[in-house]
Amino acid sequence: MGVVSEFAQTADLSGQVAMVTGASQGLGQACARHLAACGAQVLCIARNAEKLAETVEAIVSSGGQAIAKSCDVSSRESVKELFNQVQDQFPKLEILVNNAGITRDTLLPRMTDAQWDEVIQTNLTSCFLLCREASRIMMSARYGRIINMASVSGLIGNPGQTNYSASKAGMIGLTRSLARELGKRNVTVNAVAPGFIESDMTRALGDEMLKEVKKRIPANRLGSASDVSATVVFLASAGASYITGQVITVDGGMTC
């Protein structure tokens, strides 16, 4: 049975194994579903096993292939165990999407150590841990695609998000440095930096605030999860083989 896809942009990822962190909801779920729609077998990673099951069910019911793996990606021990399990089950890993992330917003004078540490650990340290493990597999295979989910906040900053913006800026620096390290092994490393994307969080801003937000966006609308996942799919595809070390903004022109 073929894959039933709601996503516009496609690529042939048949036979490839993709790992997506934060796959239980939002952008991570959209990326997992889009990659599966293109033929990849997707390892869906998150802490919440119940929500992960929903992602896997959505993929499988559409004719795709997916497996759920519960993991605290901020934990060195959990990530190491995850990759031990993956290598026991799968001979290869072609695509890694580091999407897991959290926010703990407040102005810096009121920010606690815990709010700083939790965001840096979940957003940036997890990216380092996953990239380190995946890069070993990809270097050995002399092929791989690593896509790190950054944010326009990592490029231009955002009041009340010094911890989040720092973590995303760190991901961008990691991306560019790792691209230089892995390029000769046919492994590309890129970052995607979404702007305002339709979600529960943006809907909570209210209609008036959203009107003001849209005035700052030349496209005059919020982005959709599929706008972001289409960019991820392209970067994972053969067509992006000469693109590495780049930050692709998906923001409707907000930062242009």
- Look at residue 74 and give its three-state secondary structure: coil
What is the set of active-site residues?
164
Question: What does the DSSP assignment read for 184-236?
Answer: GGTEEEEEEEE-SB-SHHHHTT-HHHHHHHHHT-TT-S-B-HHHHHHHHHHHH
Q: How many CA atoms lie within 13 A of 123 on its CB side?
A: 27
Task: Say which amino acid occupies 126.
Answer: S
Question: What is the rounded CA–CA span in Å between residue 92 and residue 106?
Answer: 41
Give the DSSP letter of residue 71: -
**How buried is 157 (Cβ within 10 angstroms: 0-12 exposed, 13-18 middle, 19+ buried)?**
middle
Closest CA to 42 of 101, 102, 97: 97
Find tokens 């962190």 and name the residue.
Answer: 21
Question: What is the rounded CA–CA span in Å between residue 127 and residue 222?
Answer: 26
Question: What is the rounded CA–CA span in Å between residue 249 and residue 256?
Answer: 9
Closest CA to 70 of 123, 24, 129: 24
